[in-house]
Structure formats: structure tokens, C-alpha cells
């Protein structure tokens, strides 16, 4: 592959910063919860708290969408749900293939959140012949030999990689060559893709390591606290004194005869 690029530039064609795009799903999740409770309007402060951001940042993000709310009333919940869904491309159907149907791949196949957000699992693909035809989450697994055919027939543009790290790049290359332009990578490795292909990486072990870092700080420990103290220098040992055995069984030293048995 020509480059290791794994994301788009800082801004999109419509002038929305990438950081704002990354927060839009957070707003949508909070707004959807409000909508399910039949809440008609929400203030920027309330919505920001629900999304975990500050209200000034929220208002700035929404200004890119052309939505400024109404003073004293707030934002219309249903309209914002539609507006953000449209901006994220969730008002259309997105067929997705999942490659690698081990424990993680099977769990992803059964995740109900895909369909409710406009993502349709079009195919489950695995290289193990024993998996071919086996239903997972109601979808029969297909062999990886048919990957290119499946992508072409279903018009797939989004691929999910849940394979072991050692084969992830090869799977990625095949997906890209077949026309997939967006990849969600669960394999514990960095993928190299050409320009025009987006990769989002999800590494659960890294997230756990970050949490461990914070847990260590909460406990008041600092890196190296558990390290043993350096060993203290041993006391110098006097050089041995040359001696020879006497006829009486003692030793002859520089200060005279030393008995073989010292008196009590």
C-alpha cells in the first residue's frame, strides 16, 4: 500500500471540523434518549451535560449545522435528531460486512444497535470452512473466498474487521480492492490504507490500559513506587591472611601460632 493514512484531513467538504463530527454521535445518543421520553425541547446546558461536553462547545458545534436554538426555549429535540442523523448519513441504508466471525465478530453480528442506526449487516465472512453456512445472529456465514462477490452484489462500502492481527492487513487490502472505502478495525494492529479510505480503530485492550493508568493515579501510586530499592553495597571483606599448618595442628600466622581449637 502506498500510504499509512488512517483518517481524513481536519475539515470536511462542508467545513465541519473533524472534532465536531466526532461529537455528533454523542449529541444524537443524548437526543434520542430525550425523544424516547417525549421531551420536546432541551437547553444547551442540559444537552451538553447529557453528552458530556461543555455548553459553549455544543453551541459552537451546532452552529456548523446552522442550528442555533431559540432563546428561552432551547433546541427542538426531534428536529435536531433529524438534522444530526442527516448530517451523519444515517437517513439512508448502509450495508456492512463483518469479516472474522470469532467471539467478537459473532457478538458484533448480534448487536441490535446497528439496525436501529441505519446499518444493515449484509454478510458475515470467515476463512474457516467449518463456519460456512453456520447461522450467527440469524445470518449464515459465508466463506472469505466470496468476499469480492459479496461486496459487489450488496453494494457494500463499510467493512468491519474482527480477525486476528496477523491477517487483518490482508483482509483490509481485499476489502479496499473490492471497493470498500470505510473500515472499522477491531484487530489489534494498525492498518495501512490508500487515500480516500477511512479507518476507525477500536482496541479494547488499549482502553483498559488507559483505565488502569487512571486507577493507579486514584490510588495515589506513582510509577516506580513498587520497584525494589537498589541493593546496598556490601561491607568490604578483609583480604585473606596467608597461613600454614604447624606440627601441633594449629596454624602459623604473621603473629605467631594459632591453636587448632580456641580456648572457651
Write b or e for each residue in 34-71: b if 16 or more Cβ atoms lie within 10 A of its Cβ, otherwise e: bbeeeeebbebebbbebbebeeeebbebbebbebebee
List beta partners, residue 199: 183
Rounded Cα gap, residues 36 and 69, in angstroms? 20
* Contact (Cβ atoms closer than 8 angstroms) between residue 61 and residue 24: yes
Q: What are phi and psi of 206, to 5 degrees?
A: -65, -40
Contacts (Cβ under 8 Å, ≥6 apart) of 37? none
Rounded Cα gap, residues 32 and 46, in angstroms? 14
Q: Which residues sit in the known binding site for NAD(+)?
A: 100-105
Q: What interhelical angle do 147-154 and 165-177 show, nearest 10?
A: 50
Rounded Cα gap, residues 186 and 47, in angstroms? 30
Q: Which residues sit in the known binding site?
A: 100-105
Q: How far is residue 177 from each of residues 84, 148, 228, 231, measured CA to CA in Å?
A: 31, 8, 53, 59
Q: How far is residue 123 from each of residues 105, 110, 157, 201, measured CA to CA in Å?
A: 11, 12, 12, 20
Amino acid at each position: 500500500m502506498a500510504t499509512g493514512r488512517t483518517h481524513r484531513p481536519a475539515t470536511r467538504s462542508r467545513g465541519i471540523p473533524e472534532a465536531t463530527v466526532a461529537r455528533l454521535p454523542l449529541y444524537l445518543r443524548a437526543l434520542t434518549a430525550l425523544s424516547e421520553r417525549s421531551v420536546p425541547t432541551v437547553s444547551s446546558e442540559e444537552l451538553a451535560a447529557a453528552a458530556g461536553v461543555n455548553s459553549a462547545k455544543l453551541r459552537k458545534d451546532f452552529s456548523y449545522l446552522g442550528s442555533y436554538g431559540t432563546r428561552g426555549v432551547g433546541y427542538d429535540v426531534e428536529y435536531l435528531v433529524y438534522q444530526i442523523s442527516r448530517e451523519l448519513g444515517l437517513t439512508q441504508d448502509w450495508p456492512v460486512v463483518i469479516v472474522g466471525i470469532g467471539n467478537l465478530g459473532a457478538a458484533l453480528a448480534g448487536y441490535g444497535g446497528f439496525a436501529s442506526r441505519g446499518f444493515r449487516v449484509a454478510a458475515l465472512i470467515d476463512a474457516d470452512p467449518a463456519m460456512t453456512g453456520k447461522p450467527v445472529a440469524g445470518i449464515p456465514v459465508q466463506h472469505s473466498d466470496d468476499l469480492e462477490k459479496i461486496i459487489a452484489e450488496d453494494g457494500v462500502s463499510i467493512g468491519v474487521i474482527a480477525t486476528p492481527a496477523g491477517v487483518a492487513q490482508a483482509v483490509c487490502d481485499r476489502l479496499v480492492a473490492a471497493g470498500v472505502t470505510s473500515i472499522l478495525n477491531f484487530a489489534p494492529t494498525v492498518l495501512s490504507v490508500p487515500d480516500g479510505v477511512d479507518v476507525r480503530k477500536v482496541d479494547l485492550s488499549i482502553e483498559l490500559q488507559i483505565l488502569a493508568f487512571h486507577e493507579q493515579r486514584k490510588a495515589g501510586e506513582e510509577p516506580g513506587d513498587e520497584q525494589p530499592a537498589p541493593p546496598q553495597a556490601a561491607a568490604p571483606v578483609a583480604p585473606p591472611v596467608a597461613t600454614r599448618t604447624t606440627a601441633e595442628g594449629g596454624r602459623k600466622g604473621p603473629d605467631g601460632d594459632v591453636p587448632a581449637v580456641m580456648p572457651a
